[in-house]
A and B are shown apart, each in its own frame.
Chain A
Amino acid sequence: MITRRRFLIVTGSAFAAITLTASQIEKVLAAFAAPAIDQQKVKWGMVIDLKKFNELPPNKRKRVYDVCRDIHNIPVFPNAKDRVEWIWPADFEHTFPSQFNQFLPEEIESLEVPILCNHCENPPCTKVCPTGATWKRGDGIVAMDYHRCIGCRYCMAACPYGMRSFNWRDPRPFIKKINTSYHTRTKGVVEKCTFCVERLEKGMQPACVETSEGSFIFGDLNSLESEITKVLKEHYSIRRKPDLGTEPKLYYLI
């Protein structure tokens, strides 16, 4: 028996289902639609001009680190051993151990070196991930899938630069102010710098590059026209532990 009541329920829910599915399909299609930048053609890289960066006043240097933490919902834990960081300051001696000697000029020895994921061309971390939760994208960015990560921390053992962080505890209560347009992570997964893929997709530069007042240069290493390749051609640059064969795409000018 089709009563009026049942008819309304059936047609109403059918309508709702169709509209919901349609909106979902639209979203999925949008995700699959060709991105503005061809991932296979570009190869993102970064240059940090250490002299220029160190000439910035301390508060502006601090901004570079802070902006990353703020927009990516990176927590600040009371206990240092729980630290989660994507970009942070280090010293010259330990960042470039093979370039160090006792007669280095004072201004080089005392350089503050911002360190972040090198987005290696041969990343040792992605190779070891047992579930494929971290991988190298077509454009050379080493990305993370926080939903697939089982938290085994093999990637942290494999990274020769120590650039990965683990959520030893629930990060959410320790995020100063949550940026609702970016995701937060759960306890028990590994995270790292992503070269701000979410900003690149919108045609913007990574956040640290934008706040660095020109001391960070970001661009396509495959293009001969880009600023980054020109700068690298004109200046002598160094990379961290180049002898390991990981081919970092993060260059430093001294």
Chain B
Amino acid sequence: MIEYAIRGGKYYWSWIAFLAIIIALGGISYYYQYQNGLTVTGMSKEVSWGLYIGNFTFLVGVAASAVMVVLPAYLYNYKKFKRVTTIGEFLGASAVIMCILFILVDLGRPDRVLNLVLNPRPTSVMLYDFIVLSVYFLLNLVIAWTVLAYKEKNKGYTTWLKILIFIAIPWAISIHTVTAFLYGGLVGRPFWNTALMAPRFLAGAFASGPSLLIISLLAIRRYTNFDPGYDAIKKIGDIVAFAMVTNLFMIGAELFTVFYSAHPHHLEYFTYILFGIKEGGWVYARFVPWMWTSLILGIAAAIMLIVPKVRNEPKYLAIACGIVFISIWMEKGIGLIVPGYIPSQWGPVVEYWPTIPESLIALGVWGVGILVFTVLAKVAIGVTLEGEKIEEEVVEEEEVVEEVVEEVVEEGKEYRCELCDAVFTNLDECCEHAEKEHKIAKASCDMACVEVAPAEKQYKCELCDAVFTNLDECCEHAEKEHKIAKASCDMVCAEVEE
């Protein structure tokens, strides 16, 4: 299977080379940080967690989101998602790799990281976070890889695989909950110390993760032969819309509680992020534009997603998802971590902003994640396309047979019993049926049996509900109005049965 990762065209290899450069820059920066210590970052005695932990927190959400496509596909047997589950799971696994790397680059003594295993303390939420993240990573990787291997061999799922899939679903919820508890459980940080933390995290996760998945799927659709199916993408779009509105609702609930009750311990932090605070003649407001940008983007994206016409248009959906992703990255990333430290615990207000080496390291970690995802997605696409080639040959033969049958039926007229909708190929049969079943005399059987003209086929554009009498017209429309290539017009133009 892995051989698909090394078979690629010019674009594939240039993309890999681009990522490799970013990773190399991150690697060099990390070496610099390893030699000089975390002093090269913008973190300080007052703000002791920053960009790394912010990205870690955000990415846990992205990782958890894989479940949003896995859950409907396996739990409700929602077929349209089946094509994208592997990609969703690989996205989850890549996100967990980034999470673990972000923790590693944030550690002061990464050489001692095994102390987590050798000397674990059961009261620490971080220990549980470490456990749930590692297990989640393994679950995703094992499941997605095995599913692909089975697809390649055209085998059904074994029982142990199904069990793993069902474990993975609640597990995805757990990684985000535990990460939220990491912050929410700290009595000394009122900014984080709220029961809403875990629900807010989950809502944000189910908006940002599927957004990224949609963007990836649209990119895959555009640049590869693999078509994830527009139906699946649309459905994930619905999920993003729901989650984003819920997320905004919870932010609103948090803001109301803080500002209306105005408890100073909570108020200070929220004043800092939304309006800035004055201290000793200075106004500290570095995060004010950041938070407002995130909020406004979030609201704009939610409005775009609520309107079905906008949501169902691939181009706008991609833009809305991009905005959701950026907005939540700002808000659930450093927008959530850094303000927890400002103002500091004993008075002075020290602000935070990442330095260049710190940003390069963070970019490098993202590079690793994207590289892993690219390679895994390449394998998934390769295996799926290969499998379909064989399937298509079989399907085509079947279709020929069906067409012949349909033609025969269309030649003769049809009669329908209006009382029970049964269809017959000649009037006599229908009359007999009417007499036997509905006690209607043969003489007056024309009351019950009506001639039906063979239904005219109609095609509907799924994006805007326009109706056409033939497929070509619909395809032309799709190309003109929605920029969808004729070759893939069957995705939007569906036959409507009258």
Number of interface residues of B (CB under 8 A): 47
Interchain CB contact under 8 A, A124 and B107: no
- Measured CB to CB, the closest approach of chain A to B218, in angstroms, equals 38
Is the CB of A228 closer than 8 A to any CB of chain B?
no
User: How far, in angstroms, from A24 to B36 measured CA to CA in the complex?
Assistant: 35
CB contact between A187 and one of B37, B41, B189 (< 8 Å): that residue: B37
Q: A129-B121, A157-B48, A168-B43 are in contact. Are A81 and B350 (CB under 8 A)?
A: yes
CB contact between A168 and one of B38, B115, B124, B348 (< 8 Å): that residue: B38
Interchain CB contact under 8 A, B107 and A188: yes
CB contact between A158 and one of B36, B107, B108, B186 (< 8 Å): that residue: B186
User: How far, in angstroms, from A150 to B120 measured CA to CA in the complex?
Assistant: 12
Closest 9 interchain pairs by CB?
A151-B108, A160-B188, A188-B108, A94-B347, A162-B345, A81-B44, A169-B37, A169-B39, A168-B39
Interchain CB contact under 8 A, B109 and A149: yes
CB contact between A95 and one of B130, B188, B346 (< 8 Å): that residue: B346
Complex: chain A residue closest to B36, CB-CB = A169
CB contact between B188 and one of A158, A165, A169 (< 8 Å): that residue: A158
- Measured CB to CB, the closest approach of chain B to A194, in angstroms, equals 18
Mark contacts of B317-343 with chain A using CB atoms, 8 A cut-off: 1 yes-contact digit, 0 otherwise.
000000000000000000000001100
Complex: chain B residue closest to A160, CB-CB = B188
Interchain CB contact under 8 A, A149 and B189: no
Is the CB of B344 closer than 8 A to any CB of chain A?
yes
Interchain CB contact under 8 A, B37 and A150: no
Residues in B with CB closer than 8 Å to A188 are 37-38, 107-109
Complex: chain B residue closest to A82, CB-CB = B39
User: How far, in angstroms, from A213 to B113 measured CA to CA in the complex?
Assistant: 44
Mark contacts of A164-195 with chain B using CB atoms, 8 A cut-off: 1 yes-contact digit, 0 otherwise.
01111110000000000000001111100000
User: How far, in angstroms, from A246 to B43 measured CA to CA in the complex?
Assistant: 26
Mark contacts of B356-387 with chain A using CB atoms, 8 A cut-off: 1 yes-contact digit, 0 otherwise.
00000000000000000000000000000000
Is the CB of B171 closer than 8 A to any CB of chain A?
no
Where the two chains meet, the residues of A that have a C-beta atom closer than 8 Å to any C-beta of B are: 79-85, 90-91, 93-95, 97, 115, 124, 127-133, 148-154, 156-162, 165-170, 186-190, 241, 244-246
Where the two chains meet, the residues of B that have a C-beta atom closer than 8 Å to any C-beta of A are: 36-39, 41-46, 48-49, 103, 106-110, 112-113, 115-116, 119-121, 123-127, 130, 182-183, 185-189, 264, 340-341, 344-348, 350
Residues in B with CB closer than 8 Å to A90 are 346-347
Interchain CB contact under 8 A, B37 and A167: yes
Residues in B with CB closer than 8 Å to A166 are 38, 45, 48, 108
Q: A161-B188, A187-B108 are in contact. Are A148 and B38 (CB under 8 A)?
A: no
Q: A154-B126, A166-B48, A168-B43 are in contact. Are A128 and B186 (CB under 8 A)?
A: yes
- Measured CB to CB, the closest approach of chain B to A68, in angstroms, equals 16
Residues in A with CB closer than 8 Å to B112 are 131, 148-151
24 contacts between A and B (CB under 8 A): A80-B44, A81-B45, A83-B45, A84-B45, A90-B346, A93-B347, A95-B346, A95-B347, A128-B123, A130-B126, A150-B116, A151-B108, A151-B112, A152-B107, A153-B48, A153-B108, A154-B182, A157-B49, A160-B345, A162-B45, A162-B46, A170-B37, A188-B107, A189-B109
Residues in B with CB closer than 8 Å to A167 are 37, 108
User: How far, in angstroms, from A246 to B340 measured CA to CA in the complex?
Assistant: 19
- Measured CB to CB, the closest approach of chain B to A160, in angstroms, equals 3
- Measured CB to CB, the closest approach of chain B to A65, in angstroms, equals 15
Residues in A with CB closer than 8 Å to B125 are 128
- Measured CB to CB, the closest approach of chain B to A161, in angstroms, equals 5
Residues in B with CB closer than 8 Å to A131 are 112, 115-116, 119-121
Residues in A with CB closer than 8 Å to B115 are 131, 133, 148, 150
Complex: chain B residue closest to A158, CB-CB = B186
Residues in B with CB closer than 8 Å to A187 are 37-38, 108
User: How far, in angstroms, from A134 to B346 measured CA to CA in the complex?
Assistant: 22
User: How far, in angstroms, from A85 to B119 measured CA to CA in the complex?
Assistant: 27
User: How far, in angstroms, from A187 to B36 measured CA to CA in the complex?
Assistant: 9
